[in-house]
Amino acid sequence: MNPGGILGAAAQTAAVGLGAPGLVGGMRQVRARMEGRAGPGVAQPYRDLRKLLGKQSITPEGTTVVFAAAPAVIAAATLVIAATIPLATTASPLDGAADLLAVVGLLLIGTVSLVLAGLDTGTPFGGMGASRETTIAALVEPTVLLAVFALSIPAGSSNLAVIVADTLRRPSDVLSPAGALAFAAIVVVIIAETGRLPVDNPATHLELTMVHEAMVLEYSGPKLAVIEWGAAMRLTVLLGLLVNLFAPWGVAGRHAGLVGVAAGLAAVAVKVAVAAAALAAGEVYLAKIRLFRVPELLAGSFLLGLLAVTASYFLASPQA
Amino acid sequence: MTATVESTVSAPRRGTGRPAAGLAPALAGTVTVGLGGAAGLLGVLGISGHGGGVRLGWLLPLAGVDFAVSATAGLFMLLVGLVAVAAGVYSIGYFRTSGASTITLAVAPVFTAAMLGVLAAGSVVTLLVCWEMMALASLVGVLSDHHRPAALDAGRWYAGMTQLGFVAILVGLVVLSASGGSGDMVLLGRHAGRLTPTARNAVFALTALGFGSKAGLVPLHVWLPRAHPEAPGPVSALMSAAMVAVGIYGLVRVDVQILGPGPRWWAVAVLGFGALSAVYGVLQASVSTDLKRLLAYSTTENMGVVAVGVGAGMLLIDYHRPGAAAVAIAAALVHTVAHAVFKALLFLSAGAAVAATGIRDLDRLGGLAVRMPATTILFAVGALGASGLPLGAGFVSEWLLLQALIHTEPGSGTLLAVVMPVAVGVVALSTGLGVAAMVKAFGVGFLARPRSPEAAEAREASPSMVAGMSFAAAACGVAAVAPVVLSAALDKVLGETPGVGLSAAPSLGVVLRLPGLAGSVSPAVLAAAVVSVTLAVVVLAGRAGARRRPAAVTAPLWTCGAGPLSERMEYTATSFAQPLQQVFDVVLRPEVDVEVSHAGGSEYLVERVRFRSRVDDTVELRLYRPILAAVSRWAGWVRRAHPGSVHLYIGYGAIGVTVVLVVAR
Amino acid sequence: MAGLTGRIRRLGRIAEPAPPAPGPLQDASEVGRGSLQLRHVDAGSCNGCEVEISGCFSPVYDAERYGARLVASPRHADGVLVSGVVTRNMASALVDAVNAVPAPRVVIAVGDCACDGGVFSEAYGVVGPAGAVIGVDVAVPGCPPEPAQIIDALRKLTRR
Ligand code: SF4
C-alpha cells in the first residue's frame, strides 16, 4: 500500500462516480448526431439525475427490503470495482483483495440484486425482465470466466495489476490469437452485461421487448436515480477494464506520484471516451435481435472464449 | 418437475403411524445435537493427530470393530457435526409441529451415528457395516411418509441404487484388503502397491462407482432428486449436506489417498464424470419447479464441482504439478465443507417453508418474505452461498478451484491443454446457471406476492427451527469471510495425500494467498467494502435533493392501468425458467403441450388454455428405463422356467448333473 | 452498412434549427426544468395526435434536444401526456397512470379532444375531456396540433 496507489484509487473511483453520467450523455450525443438529430447535450444525464433526486420516493405496495436495497447494492458493487481495477493506477490498495474473478462476481451481485428486485414487485413485467436478465447473465458468465482465463494464463495470475504489468512488458500477448479471441468475447460480454444493442434496447418503450428496463419499471425518484447512476458506472467500469486490459499504456505504476496518477487518469479517460464513442456509433447500425437469438450470440462468444483459452494453453510460451 | 396450471392441493401428511409424545422430538433432537458435538470434538482430535485407534472386538463377531480418525476423516467429521447440530436443533421444532412417528424420530440420530461410524472406521469391515447402517437409516427417513406413491417410488429407487453402490464398494474393498491380508485402513495404503495393475484398476472402478453414486454423480444420481425431497426437513438436510460428503470422503480417502496416485485415466474419469454432473445437475436445477428437487439437483451440481476439483488434483499430481494439485484438492475439500453448510441451511429453510405451507411447488409459493421473514433471510444466506458469489459461502472454494486451473502452467502437455479449458468452461457454466437456479428458488419462492392461499397464510417457523437454521447460517458466514478456520485441517489433509506439494497449500487468512503462485483475494475485505459502500450510498441518496423532495408514499403497483393484479398474472417458476428451458431443450427435452378449447365452436374465441410443461430426468429416461426394461424382460424368461412342475425340476436336476459329469471327466 | 454510412454522411444534420425559446409558464412551476420525462396515454384519440407526437421526437423536430423524453413507466415520468377524448374504458386507466407519477407532476393535454372534447365531445362512449377526470396543467389545442406547438408547450416546462 503506498500513497500514490491510495490517491490513484480514490481519484479513479471519484472519476467513475462523477464522470459516468457524462459518458452516457456523450454516447447518446454521438448517436443523436449520427441519426441527424441535434441531441440533448452531454450534460443531460446530470440534469435527469438532479431532477430524479428531488422527486417523491414511492414504495410500491407489497415490496420488501430487497426492492429498496437493490439500487444501492448495484451502485456499491460497481464503486468497489471502480476502486479496485487498474484504471488510473495499478497500485490500488484493494488490488490484492479482488482479482478478476472477484470483479466478475461483484458485477454479478449487482445483476442479481436487480433481478430479485424485479421479482419482488410481483408484476408480470418485473418477472419477465428478471427472467430474461437471468437467462442472459447465466449464459454470459461462462464467457466472462473463459475470457478471464485466456487473459490470466499468459500472465500466470488473475490479479489485475499482474495482468496489466504483463501486457506492458510483453505487448505481443494482446496481439496473439488468444488475446484477439478474448477481446472479441469480452466485447460481446460487455454489450450483454450493460444491456446495449443488439441484446437489449436501452431506449425502448415497449414493455414486451424490454430486458433491463422491465425490471426497473416500478422504481421512481431517488432510487431510480441511483439505478441509472449505477448502470452508467457499470458501463464506464467495464469499458475502462476493457481498454486497460488490452491497451494499458499510460496507467500509473506502483511508484507513480501525483503527476503519474493524473496522467493515468487522463489516459484512461481518453481511451474510455474513444471506446464509448465507437460503441455508440456501432449501435446505429444494429437492430435489437430476438431474445432467443441472444443465446446464439452468447454461445458464439463462449466458443471464442474456449478457443482463446485452448489457444493460450497450446501457444503460450512457458513462463520465465 | 411438473408444472401444471391446474393442480390439486395436497396437504402435507408427514409421520404416519403413531405420533410421538411431546418430549420425544426434543429427546431425539438433543441426541442428534450431542452426536454432532461429539463429532466436532472427534474431528478436532483427528485433525490434530490424536485420532488413535480404538478396537471393540466384542461388538462384531469374527472381525471386531475398529475406529481410528485420520485427519481427512476428522475434517469430514467436523462437517457432519456442523450439519448434525443444525439439523438436531431444528428437528425439535420441526417434528413438534408436523408430527412424526417414533421411528421417524429415531432416523436422525441413528443416521448421524452411522455416518460418523463410516468416517471413524479404522478397518474395512467397520466401514462397510457402518455404510450399510447409514444407507438403511436414510432409507427409513425417505420412507417416513410411505403412504405417498412418490415416497414409495423414491424409496425403491434409493434402495436399489444404494445397494448396488454398496456391492461395488464391498467387492472393491475386499479385493483391496485381500492384497495386504489386512483390513486396516492405514495398512491398506502401504499394501495397495502390491496389487496387479488390472486389480488396481478394477478396485478403483468399483469403489469410485460406489462412492460416486453416494455423492450423486451423474449418471448414478437418479435416486437423489427423488429421495432427498421425500425425507422430512432435517433428514433431507442430513442426506443432502452430510451424506453426499461421506461419498466424497470415500473417493478422497480410498481412491486418492490409499490407491493413488494411479494411471491418468482415473483422473480423467473423475474429472469427466464430475463435469458431467456439474452441468447436468445445474441444468436440471435451473428448470426445476419443485423447491426441494431443485436443491437436490443443486447437490448433484456441487458434488460434480467437487469431483472436478478432485479429478484436476489427481491429474496435476500425475503431471508433477504438486503446487497446483494442492490448490485443486484444497478447493474440492473447502467446497465440500461450504456445500455442507449452505445446503444444510437451504434444506432446513426450504423444509420450514414446506412445513408452513404444505407446498413444494414453486409455482404456488411466493410472498413468504412478509409472512416468514426469518426463514426468508436465512434461505437468502444459503442461496447466496450456493450461487458462488462473493460474500457467499461458496465463493472461496470456487475461487480456489479456478486458481488451480489457471495455474496449470501452459505447455505442460496436450491432455492438460485439452482438459483444463473444458473444466474451466464447465465450472463457469455451472456458476452462471447455478445463480439462475438460486435466484429462481429465492425470488419466486420467497419474494413477490403469494400464489396460493396456503402461501398467503404461512406462519413463521418455531424458535428452535430458527435457531437451528441460524446456526447453519452462522457457519455459512464463517465459511464466506473467515475460511481461515479450515486452514489447519487442510494442511493436515493435504499432508495425508501422496503427491501434493504442502508448500503450496493455500493460506486462507484475511487475504487468501497461494504461496508460490501469484493470486490473492480477500472475501472479508470485499464483504466489508460492499456493505459499507452500500450503506454510504443509501445515506447519500437519501440526503441529496431531500430538501426539494415531497414526502415519501406507499402506492399501489403500476399495473399498466389494468386494475389490481391477481396472483395468476405473476411470473411463476415455470415461466421464469422458460427461456433457459428453451435454450437447453436439446439436453432437457421438455415435454410441453398446449391445449386450447374454443368457445362455441368459434376459431377465434377461446374458452380456456391449458399449458403443461414437464422436464423429466433425461438420464433416467434414456439410460435406466432401457436397462430396467431389459432386466424385467430377462426376469420374465427366467420365470417361465419356473412353472412349478416337480417333474420339470427333476429334469433340470438330471440335465445339470449330466453336464457336471461331462465337464468333470 | 456501407450504404448506411453513406447516407449518414450525405444527410448530415436533419434537425431544423431551434426556434427561440418561449418564456416559462405563468405559475413558474419547477416541474421538468431541464429534464422532462413524460408517459404518453392515449385516452381515446383518433391517432391523429399520436402521429404529431411521434413527429415531435423525430429527427426533424427533435424534442429531445430540449430535455424532453417519452418513457415507458409513469414511475419514471414527471407527467402524463394525454391525447384524445377520455373514453369510458380508459377513464380509470388514465387516473391510475396520473396517480402513479411521483410528485411533483404535470398533466399535458394534447389536441382539441383532450382539451375540450373536440369532435368527439358529443359521442356516446365518452366521459369528457381530460379535465373531466384529472387536473390539466398545460393545454395544447389544435386538431391535431402541429409538432411545433407541442414542442413549444414542452419547452415552456423544460425552459430550454
Ligand atoms: S384532436 Fe383531432 S387529431 Fe387529435 S385525437 Fe382529437 S380528433 Fe384526432
Q: How many CB atoms lie within 10 A of CB B122?
A: 23
CA distance A112 to A115: 5
Mean pLDDT of the B480-498 span = 84
pLDDT at residue C142, rounded to an integer: 92
pLDDT at residue B410, rounded to an integer: 60
- More confident: A49 or A152: A49
Indicate if the pLDDT at residue A221 is higher than 70.
yes
Average per-residue pLDDT in chain A?
87
CB contact under 8 A, C103 and B550: yes
Q: Does C97 touch chain B (CB under 8 A)?
A: yes
CA–centroid distance, C3 to ligand 1, in Å, is: 38
pLDDT at residue B366, rounded to an integer: 85
Chain C residues with beta carbon closer than 8 angstroms to that of A220 = 75-76, 102
pLDDT at residue B485, rounded to an integer: 83
Mean pLDDT of the B409-431 span = 80
Under the banding of pLDDT at 50, 70 and 90, the label for residue B17 is very low
Average per-residue pLDDT in chain B?
85
Ligand 1 atom 4: the closest Cα is on which residue?
A: C49
Under the banding of pLDDT at 50, 70 and 90, the label for residue B504 is low
Under the banding of pLDDT at 50, 70 and 90, the label for residue B14 is very low
Helix, strand, or coil (residue B546): coil
Nearest to C96 among B548, B550, B561 (CB): B561
Nearest to C34 among A37, A47, A285 (CB): A47
Q: What single letter denotes the amino acid at residue A242?
A: L
Mean pLDDT of the A296-302 span = 83
Residue of C nearest to A50 (CA): C35
Indicate if the pLDDT at residue B21 is higher than 60.
no
CB contact under 8 A, A313 and B388: no
ipTM of model: 0.93
Question: In the 8-state DSSP scheme, what is residue B240?
Answer: I
CB contact under 8 A, A72 and B534: yes
Under the banding of pLDDT at 50, 70 and 90, the label for residue B423 is confident
Q: Give pLDDT tens digits for A233-255.
A: 999 999 999 999 888 888 887 77
Which residue out of C143, C146, C150 has the highest number of ligand 1 atoms within 8 Å of its CB and is therefore the one to mutate?
C143
Mean pLDDT of the B43-55 span = 77
How do B65-67 and B54-56 pair as beta strands? antiparallel
Cβ–ligand 1 contact at C145 (below 6 Å): no
Q: Give pLDDT tens digits for A94-133.
A: 887 888 889 989 999 999 999 999 999 988 899 999 999 9
Q: Give pLDDT tens digits for B453-467.
A: 888 888 888 889 999
Mean pLDDT lowest among A181-185, A221-225, B654-658: A181-185
Q: Give pLDDT tens digits for B525-556.
A: 889 999 999 999 999 888 888 888 888 888 88
pLDDT at residue B610, rounded to an integer: 84
Under the banding of pLDDT at 50, 70 and 90, the label for residue B83 is very high
Q: Which long-range contacts (CB under 8 A, 24 or more apart) does A196-200 make?
A: A196/A279, A196/A283, A197/A283, A197/A286, A197/A287, A197/A288, A198/A286, A198/A287, A198/A288, A198/A289, A198/A297, A199/A136, A199/A288, A199/A289, A199/A294, A199/A297, A200/A288
Mean pLDDT of the B179-193 span = 74
C72 in Cβ contact with A207 (< 8 Å): yes
Indicate if the pLDDT at residue C67 is higher than 60.
yes
Nearest to B570 among A124, A145, A314 (CB): A124
Indicate if the pLDDT at residue B64 is higher than 80.
no
Mean pLDDT of the A290-304 span = 83
Question: In the 8-state DSSP scheme, what is residue B221?
Answer: -
- More confident: A52 or B186: A52
Average per-residue pLDDT in chain C?
89
Number of separate domains in chain C: 1
Mean pLDDT of the B179-184 span = 72
Cβ–ligand 1 contact at C45 (below 6 Å): yes
Indicate if the pLDDT at residue B18 is higher than 70.
no
Among residues C54, C68, C52, C53, which one has the least CA distance to residue C18? C68
Mean pLDDT lowest among A86-95, B63-72, B569-578, C148-157: B63-72
Domain regions of chain B by residue span: 2-528, 618-664
Mutation to test the B interface, candidates A51, A57, A132, A143, most B Cβ within 10 Å: A57
Q: Does A157 touch chain B (CB under 8 A)?
A: yes
pLDDT at residue B27, rounded to an integer: 86
CB contact under 8 A, B432 and A139: yes
pLDDT at residue A318, rounded to an integer: 47
pLDDT at residue B513, rounded to an integer: 78
Indicate if the pLDDT at residue B502 is higher than 60.
yes
* Number of CB pairs, chain A paired with chain C, less than 8 A apart: 84
Indicate if the pLDDT at residue B589 is higher than 90.
no
CA distance B109 to C122: 81
* Cell 484436476 -> residue: B312
pLDDT at residue C22, rounded to an integer: 83
Under the banding of pLDDT at 50, 70 and 90, the label for residue B304 is very high
CA distance A151 to A312: 8
Q: What single letter denotes the amino acid at residue A19?
A: G
pLDDT at residue B409, rounded to an integer: 67
pLDDT at residue B2, rounded to an integer: 43
Chain C nearest C-alpha distance from B512 (Å): 43
Indicate if the pLDDT at residue A268 is higher than 70.
yes
> For residue C112, what is its C-alpha cell?
382539441
**Burial state string for C16-37 with b = 16 or more CB within 10 A and e = fewer than 16:** eeeeeeeeeeeeeeebbbbbbb
**What CATH number corresponds to the domain at position C64?**
3.40.50.12280
CA distance B585 to B577: 12
Indicate if the pLDDT at residue B638 is higher than 50.
yes
Under the banding of pLDDT at 50, 70 and 90, the label for residue B26 is confident
pLDDT at residue B44, rounded to an integer: 86
Nearest to A141 among B428, B449, B536 (CB): B428
- Residue C99: which domain range? 2-158
Entry pTM: 0.91
Q: Give pLDDT tens digits for A74-87.
A: 999 999 999 999 98
